[in-house]
Chains A and B, each alone.
Chain A
Amino acid sequence: MRVIAQLLLLAFACSAGSARADWQLNMPRGVTEISHAVFDLHMLIFWICVAIAVVVFGVMFWSIFHHRKSRGARAHHFHENTLVEVIWTLIPFVILIGMAVPATATLVKMYDASEAEVDIQITGYQWKWRYQYLGEDIDFFSSMSTPREEIENKQRKGRHYLLEVDNPLVIPAGKKVRFLVTAADVIHSWWVPDFAVKKDAIPGFINEAWTNVPEPGVYRGQCAELCGKDHGFMPIVVVVKPQQEYEQWLAQTRAKQLAVKAAASQSMSMEQLMTRGEEVYKTACAACHQVNGMGLANVFPALKDSPIALGDINAHIDIVLNGKSGTAMQAYRDQLSAVDLAAVITWERNAWGNNVGDKVEPATIQKMIDGGAEG
């Protein structure tokens, strides 16, 4: 009895403790012409199915009710009728054609990605997205920004729990935007329900999708193809801005990317590096190496007391910048700024009792990054 009461209490506490979002029963109608077409198609087929179900189950339940032995029903002896068989083969056939015609029309529209005004390359990584605007010199990663404390139930969950990112994709309203979808490791799938766009991101190949969103707004989606441990934690957020604001955003983002690079030339104190490093570590590294640096036994190596973090600093920088072939360790050269890289490496060498005592300057890292670009 007490157990049940406690369970009920627990359920109540949990439901009260987290922010409630409105649930819905049906597919979202979405905001684009295509998503409306898909929604209409979905509803059309749904109602056809309901109609068939009413007829078929109607006959069935009528028989169950009237032709039961307890009501004195005597079994008849018919067991064949070719005409009936032909009829109930042909009628579904006709219904199917009625479904296939609008479906094909919508499909053809969805496949026409030509005449796009903005081209964005989307690359899936374990477990984040990278957005590159072709011809705009804009390139950034987008990772989930929900804090681990919320996931681990130590903090009240926010309204957009698991559906929020640090850098959302920004696109202009009323313009045809083409997405070139690919992946850098395993297969992912880029999905925004409100656009009715879902396209698999396949390593080595590019797939095309497009959308044209008339209304500015914020739209959320998730990775739809199992891609490993944190498949459930790589959301997509698309911010649609009016053309003018979009252009402002482009300019700001470009300026920001330059500023980040410029910041690398300034020297940082140990405290600054450590504070920044801890933040970066939590977002970029803790998913695998864990917040306490202990890693996961036999899957992700520990950093605490590890030969890399305690050993030669250049080897440490190399593995963070360039990754390690054949393992889940990615190359962070493009993913993090020189400042963040310097900070996180410094943090790893001095956290959890790894008191090596040395630090890396952002300028050193920047030189290594640039050195690569010039050749």
Chain B
Amino acid sequence: MKPHDPDQEIKRHNGGAHRKTVYQLVLASVLMFGFGFALVPLYDVFCEVTGLNGKVTRTGPVTLTVDQARTVRVQMIAVNNETMPWRFHAERNELVVHPGEDQLTAYHVHNPTGRWMLGQAVPSVSPAEAAQYLHKINCFCFEQQPLQAQESRQMPLLFVVDPALPAHIHTITLSYTLFDITPAQRTALNLEQAKRRVVL
């Protein structure tokens, strides 16, 4: 027998106490690993409550009374993310609206390239505080937008500003960033080939 087998030596000093401690600590580590992932949905809730990052999560139809006495300026911005080559701009740069009134406007897109592409618009509102008062009833950002080569489209946006908007906010900026989410080159080629075959 080895006189200094470490396990033997340790056991001499304290029965099975370690096992319990170790199990608890391993469990704690695993839980904290899970907690890291739980932060993702928690963060979304947090954003929704505080309007952080101007994320607009309120969607779907709403009925609100129109506040004729008050007007709010809504600026529309279009941003192209890095390599997104589409032409992308708002139909009108600015709208003056009454809170509670349904507003229909649109963004134009055009795919100037020679290939089929897929886009995704991501909305953001500034000031962030206003984000929770801007309801989008119907928005092109709800869905991915496919465009054929050289295709153009008018993408509608139906929104309403909540009359509960704090009085000190007079201007709301609504920005859309257009991302290129076309699947990686090889897949895109396959898709195109597949389409061509269908057409032929």
Chain A residue at minimal CB-CB distance from B175: A206
A331/B84 contact (C-beta < 8 A), A184-B79, A318-B114 known:
yes
A205/B83 contact (C-beta < 8 A), A135-B93, A318-B114, A322-B113 known:
no
Query: Of A82-90, A113-121, A241-249, A277-285, which binds chain B?
Result: A113-121
In the assembled complex, which residues on chain B have CB atoms less than 8 Å from the CB atom of A208?
126-128, 173
In the assembled complex, which residues on chain A have CB atoms less than 8 Å from the CB atom of B75?
119, 134
B126 touches A184 (CB 8 A): no
* B36–chain A nearest beta-carbon distance, Å: 21
CA distance A203 to B178 in the complex (A): 10
From 52 to 111 in chain B, residues with beta carbon under 8 angstroms from any chain A beta carbon are: 53-55, 75, 77, 79-85, 87, 93-94, 108, 110
Query: Of A163-171, A259-267, A303-311, A365-373, which binds chain B?
Result: A365-373
* B50–chain A nearest beta-carbon distance, Å: 13
Interface presence of A329 (CB below 8 A): yes
B85 touches A114 (CB 8 A): no
- Give the size range of A's interface with the partner: 35 or more
Partner of B110, one of A185, A321, A325, A373: A373
CA distance A326 to B179 in the complex (A): 11
* A323–chain B nearest beta-carbon distance, Å: 4
Q: How many residues of B contact A (CB 8 A)?
A: 40
Chain B residue at minimal CB-CB distance from A323: B83
Partner of A375, one of B77, B110, B169: B110
Query: Of residues A204, A208, A375, which shows the largest number of chain B Cβ atoms within 10 Å of its Cβ?
Result: A204
CA distance A33 to B108 in the complex (A): 41
In the assembled complex, which residues on chain A have CB atoms less than 8 Å from the CB atom of B179?
204
B112 touches A322 (CB 8 A): yes
Chain B residue at minimal CB-CB distance from A324: B83
Chain B residue at minimal CB-CB distance from A315: B114
A-B contacts, 21 listed (Cβ < 8 Å)? A113-B127, A123-B79, A134-B93, A134-B94, A180-B77, A180-B175, A182-B79, A182-B177, A184-B82, A185-B81, A202-B53, A206-B79, A206-B126, A207-B126, A325-B182, A325-B185, A326-B185, A330-B82, A331-B82, A331-B84, A375-B108
- Other 16 A-B pairs with CB < 8 A, given A184-B79, A330-B83: A114-B127, A114-B168, A114-B169, A115-B170, A135-B93, A180-B175, A182-B79, A182-B177, A204-B122, A205-B124, A206-B54, A322-B85, A325-B182, A326-B185, A368-B112, A375-B108
Residues of chain B at the chain A interface (Cβ within 8 Å): 53-55, 75, 77, 79-85, 87, 93-94, 108, 110, 112-114, 122, 124-128, 150, 152, 168-171, 173, 175, 177, 179-180, 182, 184-185
Residues of chain A at the chain B interface (Cβ within 8 Å): 113-116, 119, 121, 123, 125, 134-135, 180, 182, 184-185, 202-208, 318, 321-327, 329-331, 333-334, 368-369, 371-375
